[in-house]
Amino acid sequence: MADIHVSGLSKAYPLARGGERLALEDVDLRIDSGEFVCLLGPSGCGKTTLLNILAGLDRPDAGSVRVGDPDTATAVTSYVFQEPRLLPWKSVRANLRFVLDRADGADERIDYWLERVGLAGRGNDYPRQLSIGQRQRVAVARALLIEPDVLFMDEPFSALDELTASRMREELLGLWQELGCTVVFVTHNPMEAAFLADRIAIMSPGPGRIVREYRVSEALPRPRDADDARLWEVSRNVVSVLKGRSSGQRA
Ligand code: ADP
Ligand code: MG
């Protein structure tokens, strides 16, 4: 069990000239164990700030966050950043080994995950020998290698060409369905959110709040087809909420 419970979360950053800028204001969010939720909002609305707080990389000024089992509040979590963030002086294999506590069986696990992300046989390459898409595949393998309960992803495919990105979205859905982990996926791309999410939490421009939750699974059962015209419909609805023009659909 790894659900997420966020209540009354606020966060401000100090400004260089004094005072502060509110990045998040009174954010409430609940995510069920095994759910795939996209946080969608315009650039600067606080998506990364919220994700970092959920992942424990940053602290809120107010409010509470619980990730994981309600009794113990523990969960194994992983994070895929917008850039691969691999260690350039280590081989792909060594980058993956780096996140494992114990060496026993590491090579088999690494080979398994390299194959799962389409990089079989590339373990001895260095990051510079891989394309940006391949490097991001290594980052996904690194995140999944530790078998997380919760996977945080911050616009992980936004630097990739659309063809590569759409292939990786499909592969991610396959892995998620197999692993059963909870996914919190940040994006500014409504079509991407429509294709991936069970539910889209739509954020307002800064200071970020969750203005609407859109339950995609009702409109689009799985498995989804990236060419399904209903994706556009979901995307249009979400965009009109982003533009503040629609009553949308409340979860
Ligand atoms: P998003 O990921 O939605 O683009 P961010 O969470 O990165 O938004 O940023 C939200 C707001 O907080 C922005 O106004 C940004 O400039 C500000 N901000 C983010 N990180 C910092 C920081 N470390 N120091 C000061 N301001 C920050
Ligand atoms: Mg961001």
Instruction: Give residue-wise pLDDT tens across range 50-104.
Output: 999 999 999 999 999 999 987 887 899 999 999 999 999 999 999 999 999 887 8
Inter-CA distances, 182 with 152, 239, 242, Å = 9, 25, 25
Separation between Cα atoms, residue 201 and residue 179, nearest integer Å: 23
Is the predicted pLDDT of residue 248 greater than 90, yes or no? Answer: no
Contact call for residues 194 and 234 (beta carbons, < 8 A): yes
Q: What is the pLDDT of residue 74?
A: 86
Q: Is residue 81 part of a domain?
A: no
Question: Distance, CA 44 to ligand 1 centroid (Å)?
Answer: 6
The strand pair at 199-203 and 36-40 is best described as parallel
Question: Is residue 64 domain-shared with residue 158, that is, in the same domain?
Answer: yes
Cβ-based neighbours of 20, under 8 Å, separated by 6 or more: 12, 13, 14
pTM of the full predicted structure? Answer: 0.95
DSSP 66: E
Q: Which residue has the tokens 């113990």?
A: 72
For residue 94, give its domain range.
86-146
Beta carbon of 47 within 6 Å of any ligand 1 atom = yes
Question: Is residue 139 domain-shared with residue 169, that is, in the same domain?
Answer: no
Separation between Cα atoms, residue 128 and residue 57, nearest integer Å: 27
Mutation to probe ligand 1, out of 9, 10, 11, 13 (largest number of atoms < 8 A from CB): 13
Separation between Cα atoms, residue 109 and residue 147, nearest integer Å: 11
The encoded tokens of residue 69 equal: 């089992």
Question: Is residue 122 domain-shared with residue 234, that is, in the same domain?
Answer: no
Is the predicted pLDDT of residue 224 greater than 60, yes or no? Answer: yes
Last residue within a domain, chosen from 101, 124, 146:
146
CATH number, domain of 192, equals: 3.40.50.300
Is the predicted pLDDT of residue 251 greater than 50, yes or no? Answer: no
Beta carbon of 206 within 6 Å of any ligand 1 atom = yes
Find how far residue 215's CA is from the centre of its chain: 17
Residue 169 φ/ψ, nearest 5 degrees: -65, -45
Mutation to probe ligand 1, out of 39, 49, 81, 204 (largest number of atoms < 8 A from CB): 49
Protein residues within 5 Å, CB atom, of ion ligand 2: 47-48
Question: Is residue 164 domain-shared with residue 53, that is, in the same domain?
Answer: yes
Beta carbon of 43 within 6 Å of any ligand 1 atom = yes
Question: Is residue 129 domain-shared with residue 223, that is, in the same domain?
Answer: no
Question: Distance, CA 105 to ligand 2 centroid (Å)?
Answer: 36
Question: Is residue 158 domain-shared with residue 242, that is, in the same domain?
Answer: yes
Taking only the tens place, the pLDDT of each residue in 120-145 is 999 999 999 999 999 999 999 999 99
Question: Is residue 15 domain-shared with residue 95, that is, in the same domain?
Answer: no
Question: Is residue 71 domain-shared with residue 187, that is, in the same domain?
Answer: yes
Separation between Cα atoms, residue 217 and residue 195, nearest integer Å: 10
Based on the structure, what is the number of domains in the chain?
A: 2
The encoded tokens of residue 78 equal: 């992983």
Beta carbon of 45 within 6 Å of any ligand 1 atom = yes
Mean pLDDT, all residues of the chain: 94
Question: Is residue 179 domain-shared with residue 141, that is, in the same domain?
Answer: no
* Angle, helix 162-179 to helix 132-145, in steps of 10 degrees: 10
Question: Distance, CA 111 to ligand 2 centroid (Å)?
Answer: 31
Task: Kindly report which listed range (72-76, 139-143, 176-180, 231-235) carries the lowest average pLDDT score.
Answer: 72-76
Q: What is the pLDDT of residue 103?
A: 77
Contact call for residues 187 and 40 (beta carbons, < 8 A): yes
The model's confidence at residue 229, banded by pLDDT at 50, 70 and 90, is very high
Closest Cα to atom 15 of ligand 1:
44
Question: Is residue 69 domain-shared with residue 100, that is, in the same domain?
Answer: no
Question: Is residue 106 domain-shared with residue 230, that is, in the same domain?
Answer: no
Q: Give percent above pLDDT 70 in the chain.
A: 97
CA-based torsion, 104, 112, 80, 29: positive or negative = negative
What is the DSSP annotation of 183-238? EEEEES-HHHHHHH-SEEEEEPSSSB-EEEEEEHHHHSPSSP-TT-THHHHHHHHH
Question: Is residue 108 domain-shared with residue 228, that is, in the same domain?
Answer: no
